[in-house]
């Protein structure tokens, strides 16, 4: 009996050591990535200073054929990390479309841009404009203005809830802390966790693989109200699993977009855009953006994580500003080459999975 107890204790100690080692490795990788991001950002700032790019620059922008003169600092009143702020930060000037006269070009109706400029100028004066979630405009431009505001991230996004739940009573540990939510499988096979809140518009989250034991896990979204035991196969499951599995509506399309699968230490930034009906995932190890087309009809989308074996551990967190920038830059095509040979609805210049039917 004593020898069995000692053997069990030894197994527990070894498991604890493996867990600690995996978490220390993940922490070291995070610190290295943060240091690299800071170094890259500083290098870009130095290059901007050398090129004479400042917030006081007066920009001449062709918007749908009408010329606007606006200070760069006014456009930078848009929320930090938004597409509008990124575009005019000075770091991506060379990637912005130009007209025949070399002026920056935006393909939108002039009244729409004028309404946005008025809002940003009011923000500079510390007006109550900061609390707005919509802008006044003539009725004929309302739909376009709403779409533009969402696309360019004009209004600050509410902090996304990372609270998860599981339909299984045992076998899955879900722990929330200041850094995010850790999901750990403790018993059984195929345990799933889902977001407690429905995603309404646009949401981003970071998915990290701390450890993986049996070579399977799934990350993505689902709209199932009462997910089954194997929810990755439900008709509303969209996401990426191991062994190159890519699920669209619960059907596996192996290797879609060059996807190879999850490994311990992987990090990915997810971007769910309800208006655009797309789920995007930027995978840091392969530096590849993958895109899945979601059904156009309105659904109640939630976070979805599916683990397979004991000791599988993943973590969900709020992306840093730099991490959000990585997926926005990749999604909108700054400095990247589009691999599509048709009219790409995911954004000109985007690297992503091949277009899917439906």
pLDDT digits (tens, 9 = 90+) for 53-101: 677 889 999 999 999 999 999 999 988 878 888 888 887 788 888 999 9
**pLDDT, position 40:** 61
pLDDT of residue 274: 85
Task: Yes or no: say if 350 and 331 are a contact pair by the CB < 8 Å rule.
Answer: yes
pLDDT at 182: 92
Rounded mean pLDDT of 220-245?
Answer: 82
pLDDT digits over 146-160, tens only? Answer: 888 888 888 876 666
Average pLDDT over residues 165-186: 82
Segment of 98-102, 161-165, 227-231, 310-314 carrying the highest mean pLDDT = 98-102
Q: Which pLDDT tens digit goes with each residue over 270-288?
A: 999 888 889 999 998 988 8
pTM for the full predicted model: 0.64
* Per-residue pLDDT tens digits for 287-321: 889 999 999 887 889 999 988 888 899 999 988 87
Question: What separation in angstroms does the CA of 132 have from each of 31, 66, 111, 114, 136?
Answer: 37, 26, 18, 16, 10
Q: Which of 299, 213, 314, 305 is nearest to 267 (CA)?
A: 314
Report whether 335 contacts 95 (CB < 8 A). Answer: yes
Report the percentage of the chain scoring pLDDT > 90: 30
Helix (H, G, I), strand (E, B) or coil at 267: strand
For 27-60, how does the pLDDT look when each residue is reduced to its tens digit (9 = 90+)? 777 677 667 666 665 565 555 555 556 778 899 9
Q: Where are the alpha helices (DSSP H) in 186-320?
A: none
Average pLDDT, stretch 220-232? Answer: 74
Angle, to 10 degrees, between the axis of helix 110-124 and the axis of helix 142-152? 60
What is the pLDDT at residue 169? 58
Which pLDDT score, from 0 to 100, does residue 354 have?
A: 32
SS3 107: coil
CA distance linking residue 335 with residue 96, whole number of Å: 10
> Per residue in 121-149, pLDDT tens?
888 877 665 666 678 889 899 989 988 88
> What strands, in cross-sheet order, belong to the sheet with 191-195?
164-165, 191-195, 302-307, 217-222, 238-241, 246-248, 251-252
Question: Which two structure tokens, joined as six digits, stand for 33?
Answer: 């990535």
* pLDDT classification of 358: cutoffs 50, 70, 90: very low
Average pLDDT, the chain: 79
Between 180 and 166, residue with greater pLDDT: 180
Q: pLDDT, tens digit, for every residue of 329-338?
A: 776 655 433 3
């Amino acid at each position: 009996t004593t020898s069995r107890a000692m053997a069990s204790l030894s197994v527990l100690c070894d498991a604890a050591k493996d867990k600690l080692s995996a978490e220390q490795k993940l922490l070291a990788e995070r610190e290295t990535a943060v240091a690299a991001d800071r170094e890259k950002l500083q290098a870009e700032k130095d290059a901007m200073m050398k090129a004479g790019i400042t917030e006081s620059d007066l920009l001449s922008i062709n918007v749908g054929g009408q010329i606007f003169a606006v200070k760069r600092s006014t456009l930078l009143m848009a929320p930090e990390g938004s597409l509008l702020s990124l575009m005019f930060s000075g770091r991506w000037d060379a990637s912005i479309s130009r007209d025949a006269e070399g002026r920056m070009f935006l393909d939108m109706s002039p009244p729409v841009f004028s309404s946005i400029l008025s809002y940003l100028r009011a923000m500079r004066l510390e007006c109550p404009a900061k609390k707005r979630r919509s802008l006044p405009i003539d009725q004929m431009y309302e739909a376009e203005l709403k779409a533009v505001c969402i696309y360019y991230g004009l209004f600050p996004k509410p902090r996304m809830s990372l609270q998860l739940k599981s339909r299984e009573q045992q076998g899955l540990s879900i722990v929330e802390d200041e850094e995010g939510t850790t999901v750990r499988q403790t018993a059984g096979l195929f345990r799933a966790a889902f977001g407690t809140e429905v995603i309404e518009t646009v949401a981003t989250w970071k998915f990290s693989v701390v450890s993986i034991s049996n070579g399977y896990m799934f990350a993505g979204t689902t709209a199932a109200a009462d997910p089954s035991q194997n929810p990755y196969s439900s008709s509303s499951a969209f996401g990426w699993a191991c062994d190159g599995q890519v699920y669209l509506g619960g059907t596996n399309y192996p290797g879609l977009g060059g996807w190879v699968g999850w490994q311990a230490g992987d990090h990915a930034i997810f971007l769910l855009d309800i208006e655009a009906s797309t789920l995007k995932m930027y995978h840091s190890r392969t530096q590849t953006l993958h895109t899945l087309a979601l059904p156009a009809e309105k659904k109640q989308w939630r976070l979805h994580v599916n683990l397979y074996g004991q000791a599988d551990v993943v973590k969900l967190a709020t992306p840093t500003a730099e991490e959000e920038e990585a997926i926005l830059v990749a999604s909108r095509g700054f400095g990247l080459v589009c691999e599509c040979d048709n009219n790409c609805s995911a954004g000109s210049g985007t690297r992503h999975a091949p277009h899917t039917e439906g």
